[in-house]
Amino acid sequence: MFFPFISFLFAVLLKNDYLCMKFCKILFFMRVFQNVADLGDLKQALSEAFEIKANRYKYQELGKNKTAMLIFFNNSLRTRLSTQKAAMNLGMNVIVLDVNQGAWKLETERGVIMEGDKSEHLLEAIPVMGSYCDIIGVRSFARFESRSDDYEEKILNQFIKYSGKPVFFMESATVHPLQAFADLITIEEYKNCTHVEPNPLFGGVAIDRVPNKRPKVVLSWAPHPKALPQAVPNSFAEWMNAADVDFVITHPEGYELDPKFAGNAQVEYDQMKAFEGADFIYAKNWSCPGVTRPNDYGKVLGDYHDYSAWTVGERQMAVTNKAFFMHCLPVRRNMIVTDDVIEAPTSLVIPEAANREISATVVLKRMLEAIK
């Protein structure tokens, strides 16, 4: 019965242009943005990014009379501002909801007797939110209560299931794809750079460099006093594995990223060795992912003061290929990176942050095309 049905379906589609268009959109247009695979061909995505960067308002008619709802369960600066700006670039209306400021406290688990301080269940709230908008973006961090709950993305998947609208991840328990896409855009912009002008904010001396034909990109763990999620390093690793770069991850033992994100990347426990000849250094802290130490998931392993040698400074940068420094921000100076490195001409943290607007614009453009 299956194959005759498929034949009948395609026969109907071939005779009806409108139905064919709708069916193709369902199959090929983006309704969920979570991972690098959701974006499709990276070269095409980068081409769109640079097209939009040259003219941010080119597709303003695409979002006319459409509304983006941005839902924040956690704090945000760059994600909030860049995504709101991206939606406005496309002519969209924007609703921003801070769940923990002014909204009812939400219960997220089924089966719970709601006799505490939570007045509304997420299962009712989600379809209500969906009724007020065309596209939903959600930001919800890992809770570190259960690795399985975090890595199953319970909160975001409920939005996908019950909202009835396209959903994009503005950082979840395990991924931050808008950041990773902006990182890739930044690397693409600077990978062939042979001359670096002094830092426009902090000065310094111009630098001449000879880039590798295939950029060497290093993701380096760095110390932090608090337990941070793995979302940024997970996505960065996933996107770098899909890009045309030589990718290395370096961290102390116990901080191994989940293999579904780390992939086949080279893992080097000697930070100095990892940095040798690198073109880009991406520093980021993350808590124990629980891969080799399941009982320590979400924890800081040991005393972070004992890992001060992992702070990215001039000592490490000296063995690189006059590498560019990257970080998603916010950054704790002289914990993650020294003042000298983040203020150097090769620091890309500001243009990297600016590219968050571009990555978000591309993603929202794709989603608008799916519902047009």
- Cα separation, 92 vs 86, in Å, equals 9
CATH architecture for residues 178-354 = 3-Layer(aba) Sandwich (3.40)
Q: Nearest Cα to 274, choosing from 241, 243, 252?
A: 252
What are the residue ranges of CATH 3.40.50.1370 in the chain? 30-175+357-371, 178-354
> Does a cis peptide bond (omega within 30 degrees of 0) precede residue 229?
no
Q: What is the pLDDT of residue 16?
A: 56
Average pLDDT per consecutive 10 residues, the chain (372 residues; last block may be shorter): 48 49 49 96 97 98 98 96 98 96 86 91 95 98 96 96 97 98 98 96 95 97 97 98 98 98 98 98 98 98 96 98 98 98 98 98 97 82
Question: Given the DSSP bridges, would you call strands 207-208 and 216-221 parallel, antiparallel or unpaired?
Answer: unpaired
User: Looking up tokens 């299956």, which residue turns up?
Assistant: 2
Question: For residue 29, what pLDDT is reported?
Answer: 67
Count Cβ neighbours within 10 Å for each residue of 93-121 and write b for 16 or more, e otherwise.
ebbebbbeeeeeebbbeeeeeeeeeeeeb
pLDDT at 15: 52
What global pTM score does this model have?
A: 0.92
Summarize pLDDT for 90-122 with one digit per residue, the tens. 999 999 999 988 888 888 888 999 999 989 999
Beta strands in the chain (DSSP E): 32-33, 67-72, 93-98, 106-107, 120-121, 135-139, 167-169, 195-196, 207-208, 216-221, 246-250, 266-268, 280-284, 324-326
Give the end-to-end CA distance of the chain in Å, rounded to a whole number. Answer: 33
Are 249 and 184 a contacting pair, CB within 8 Å?
no
Task: Give the fold, CATH level 3, of 30-175+357-371.
Answer: Rossmann fold (3.40.50)
Judging by DSSP bridges, how do beta strands 246-250 and 32-33 pair with one another?
unpaired
* Chain centroid, CA 156 distance in Å: 14
Question: β-strands 120-121, 135-139: how paired?
Answer: unpaired
Task: Measure CA 276 to chain center.
Answer: 26
Q: Which residues contact 31 (CB under 8 A, 6 or more apart)?
A: 166, 167, 367, 370
Q: How far apart are CA 37 and CA 356, in angstroms?
A: 19
